[in-house]
A and B are shown apart, each in its own frame.
Chain A
Amino acid sequence: MHHSARQDEGGFHWSLSIDCHAVDRYGNADFEAVFQDVRFVQEVRIGMMKREDKDRLETLHIDEKINYSKSIVREAIGRFGIDRLAVAITGGKDSTTSLWILKQVCDELNTKPPVCMFIDEGDVFDEIDELVDHIRKEWSLDVVSLKNDDVSSLATHIGRNVRVADLNEKNRRALEEMGYTGEEFPFIPDSTICNHLMKTVPMREFIVRNGVLGLITAIRWDEQSARKDEDFFSPRTNPDHTRVHPVLHFRERDIWVAIFKYGIPYCSLYRQGYRSLGARCATGKASDIPAWLQDLENTPERVGRGQNKEQVMDQLRALGYM
């Protein structure tokens, strides 16, 4: 996979090359429409989102949902400026759909999309790499790949113990900050320690280094209960920035409807039965039929994530279940 990022040996280094010409072109033909949308957004977002507003947004027609997403993106561009925005991309269905919407808005505004940030947490499916490479070329994206090379060069395979003393100072500090003082830890992508080292740390550094004010991510209300109270614009600290969630109101099925209606590219793993994608070692198929043919409303989307089926079965059997 080709990324435009370079990494130096000492830690993280990312090159950024974005033309900044969006804001001054922001006010011509689209101005009225943009402004109306922004007003609507602000009305809805007063305080905590009301239940009725959430319900209304969740039941909109797919094209209205996309229009609403576009209004969020336009507001984000207006608020932060295209050069202070970044997009987190994962190669997953939500991320790619959200990115497609962003691309539509950028085309309408005749601007280049914001920089795309791809986090390589150390165990990425090849199929994900292929998809990211495909959309990078197709949509002329500037994709920056973030990888904590210091950690992954020591972790030659999943489960391999990494000695803390062998890590560079930056990573040792990060472990200290999370309260970890052990001598070593196993390299298991999606584990708490690895998420911190491989995802949080590089992402924070990226935000700081590039002065990112708004980070667009593709979380959805219906994905898991921890996300059901999220807002379209969500302020974060450490470092200070705002998360922007353009497809928050999409349900899982809406994503697939949008993908097929607008020919949005998707990762081939979904055809094999995967429904939600994470690190390869921590992600299983939800079924053997394509994701979009599964019972999306009545079976859990993230069932294949973060668990080892064999070990769960083993424990249940030991207690006489199954």
Chain B
Amino acid sequence: MFGIFRKEAKQRKVVVAGLDGVPYSLLVEYMARGIMPELSALCAKGSLHRMKSSLPEVSSVAWTSFMTGRNPGQHGIFGFMEIDRNSYEYRFPNFSTLKEKPFWEDHGLKTVAFNIPQTYPARPMNGVLVSGFVAIDIDKATYPDRVLKYLKSIDYQLDVNARLALQSPDAFFDNMFHAFRKRTEAMEHLYDSEDWSLFIGTITETDRLHHFFFDSALEGTHYPVFEKFYRELDRFIGRMAGKAAKEESLFLTCSDHGFTPITSEVYLNRWLVEQGYLGLNGKEDLTAVDGATRAFCLDPSRIYVHSKGKYARGSVSSEQHDTLVKEIKEKLLSLRYNDQPIVKAVYNKADIFHGDYEADGPDMYILPEYGFDLKGALNKKNLFGTTHFRGMHTYDDAHFLISEKREFQDISIQDIADVILKYLRQ
């Protein structure tokens, strides 16, 4: 743990700008349009890569894989929620329930970890921690106290008020720009005033904008907002990269997943009910799961077999398990929406999860085709539907930018920790 870095290596620094939900393909397009000149300049000196997210491709899982360099089977975070196996009530894993340490703790790196999703509640560490989504109380989201005091002094906002998107797009955009400016102000302040060898600051306004308005990312009603926002983001990236270059630090940006517009939402629990796999006694709540239930879904598309011995009312025996999984898999792969296939791949647990906590993972994970947003919602009367959400996550279109000319074979978010550690050890 100690003494692995030589003296000169100790002075090496790494700066990461996390850009939540920013797709590789969008950055390429915006650079072509001249919206992101700073990024273009960085790409000329360094290299931009298309990157894979984690599975499931949601922020809590992907950023945890980023922080630990581990698979969900090792770090134990499979989504934003789990259910209790006895009461079937929702549980919310958080930073305290994480099974692995972030790599900076494991390697004794003095770190500023700013607004990374799934780091709430904050705990003491060697450096600064400001928790990201789902952070509730700023007092518990900040370590140490002098940073809390500073954040309060600038009226720092933990997150965008997402509810505004439905009520008034203009109010939402105002709130988003405000949150973004406070966030970048705080980030640059901490960059300059704190002592660190690893600085990670994540922007999450990108993800919020995309969830509600990604159909305007290339053209449409709200395209001017995208352009304005990404120009500001580009200037921020330029400032951070400039600071990093001045002290010859390695500079990275990365996203935890990509985004694509939604053709239709697809409600997997509704599908399981229609197919006779799930019984809820007419209720919209997994606590109503009946003894005949064979499978249920948790967001975004984690399917759990209702196994005997594992769940209080579980009824599927271990002999029936594999047959059931195979049957569901075949049916899902043949699902169509206006003749378009919905499911790109169905993974069994062992295909994608490995580690001490593998057993906690879903029995199956469904990766959709672009445009089909798979959901675990329980209050739906139809298999398909649309809501006010206009963007969905993608697995294979996250991005990774590094201020060095580098080649990577098939890089995923879990690999970044290793890139950083290798650089620091050089």
Contacts and interface: CB of A to CB of B under 8 A. Distances in A.
Given A179-B144, A191-B139, A191-B140, A306 B149 contact: no
A300 B89 contact: no
A26 B94 CA distance: 46
Interface stretch (B27-35, B96-104, B236-244, B330-338): B96-104
Contacts of B137: 188, 191, 308
B376 to A, nearest CB: 7
B86 A287 contact: yes
Nearest to A310: B136
B133 A315 contact: yes
A288 B86 contact: yes
A72 B148 CA distance: 39
Contact of B375 (A178, A315, A320): A320
B211 interface: yes
B299 interface: yes
B387 A287 contact: no
B194 interface: no
A63 interface: no
Interface string A307-319: 1110111011011
Summarize B's interface: helix, strand, loop or mixed.
loop
B86 A224 contact: no
Nearest to A191: B139
Nearest to B164: A318
A318 B172 CA distance: 13
Interface string B81-123: 1101111011111101111110000000000000000001101
B99 A225 contact: yes
B396 interface: no
Interface residues of B, number: 55
Interface in A159-213: 178-182, 186, 188, 190-193, 196
Nearest to B147: A179
Interface string A284-299: 0011110001110011
Contacts of B387: 320
A287 B84 contact: yes
Given A308-B136, A313-B90, A322 B145 contact: no
A48 interface: yes
Given A188-B139, A191-B137, A225-B101, A318 B163 contact: yes
Interface in B302-332: none
A226 interface: yes
A278 to B, nearest CB: 11
A298 B89 CA distance: 15
A262 interface: no
A321 B361 CA distance: 18
B211 A319 contact: yes
B93 A300 contact: yes
B142 interface: yes
A287 B100 contact: no
A295 B96 contact: no
Nearest to A178: B145
Interface in B50-98: 58, 76, 80-82, 84-87, 89-94, 96-98
A65 interface: no
Interface string B370-393: 000001110000000001010000
Contacts of B142: 192
A285 B146 CA distance: 33
A305 to B, nearest CB: 7
B162 interface: yes
A114 to B, nearest CB: 27
A302 B97 contact: yes
A76 B162 CA distance: 54
B90 A322 contact: yes
Contacts of A182: 149, 152
A97 B359 CA distance: 30
B121 A307 contact: yes
A57 interface: no
Nearest to A186: B139
A303 interface: yes
A192 B159 contact: no
Nearest to A298: B360
A300 B97 contact: yes
A288 B94 contact: no
Contacts of A224: 96-97
Nearest to A321: B299
A128 to B, nearest CB: 20
Contacts of B121: 306-307
Contacts of B94: 306-307
Given A188-B139, A295-B85, A298-B360, A320 B389 contact: yes
A179 B139 contact: no
Nearest to A226: B123
B211 A320 contact: yes
Interface in A217-259: 224-226, 228-229
Contacts of A188: 137, 139
Contacts of B90: 309, 313, 322
B28 to A, nearest CB: 26
Contacts of B179: none
A160 to B, nearest CB: 14
A179 B146 contact: yes
A48 B2 CA distance: 11
Interface of A: 48, 178-182, 186, 188, 190-193, 196, 224-226, 228-229, 286-289, 293-295, 298-300, 302-303, 305-309, 311-313, 315-316, 318-322
Given A180-B149, A294-B84, A322-B299, 11 more contacts: A178-B144, A191-B139, A224-B96, A229-B1, A293-B86, A303-B92, A303-B93, A307-B136, A308-B137, A313-B92, A315-B136
8 contacts: A190-B140, A192-B139, A192-B142, A193-B139, A300-B96, A312-B136, A315-B159, A320-B387
Among all A-B residue pairs, the 7 with the closest Cβ atoms: A179-B146, A300-B97, A318-B162, A191-B139, A178-B145, A311-B136, A321-B299
